[in-house]
Amino acid sequence: MSEQHKIHTVVDIYGNTYKMVGTETSGHMRLVASIVDSKMREINALNPSLDQAKLAVLTASNAVHDYLKLKEQVE
């Protein structure tokens, strides 16, 4: 895909700005960002001593877990 067909979206997740580039709509990317942001805040509330890298790793683990559970349900 040529650069001109890529969609650039700037999102804010947990106080940092990220430039997302891809084929998804800006609305989709903002939804993804808001879900990640919410999950990070939830996990931080339960584990306030975690640094941001570990918090984000646990957030990623949570999201992968949700994905695998949905996949199991589908199959």
Distance in Å, CB of 4 to a second copy, minimum: 20
DSSP secondary structure code for residue 51 in this structure: -
H or E element, residue 19: strand 16-22
Number of residues located near a second copy, criterion CB under 8 A? 35
Q: Are 58 and 43 in contact (CB under 8 A)?
A: yes
What residues numbered 13-32 form the site for a second copy, per CB under 8 A?
Answer: 13-14, 16, 18, 20, 24, 28, 31-32
Q: Are 17 and 10 in contact (CB under 8 A)?
A: yes
- List residues binding a second copy (CB under 8 A): 13-14, 16, 18, 20, 24, 28, 31-33, 35-36, 39-40, 51-68, 70-71, 74
